[in-house]
Amino acid sequence: MTITEHAQARIEADPDVPLIRITRDFAATPEQLFRAHTDPDLYARWVGPNDITTRVDHWDCRTGGSWAFSNIRGDESYSFHGCFHEVSPTRLVQTFTFDDWPTGVSLQTLTLTDLGDGRTRLTAQSLVESFAERDQWLASGMDVGVNDGYAKLDSLLAEI
Domain segments of the chain: what residues? 2-159
Q: Identify the bridge partners of residue 97 per DSSP, sorted by sequence position.
A: 81
What average pLDDT is seen over the chain?
92
- What is the phi/psi pair of residue 121, to 5°? -95, 125
Residue (of 83, 78, 26) closest to 48 by Cα position: 78
Per-residue pLDDT tens over the stretch 48-104: 999 999 999 999 999 999 999 999 999 999 999 999 999 999 999 999 998 987 677
Tell which wins on pLDDT, 39 or 6.
39
Residue 136's pLDDT is: 87
Q: What is the pLDDT of residue 13?
A: 94
Residue 144 has pLDDT above 70, yes or no: yes
pLDDT confidence of residue 33: 97
CB 2, CB 133: distance < 8 Å: no
What is the CATH code of the structural domain delimited by 2-159?
3.30.530.20
**Residue 10 pLDDT grade (very low, low, confident, very high; cuts 50, 70, 90):** very high
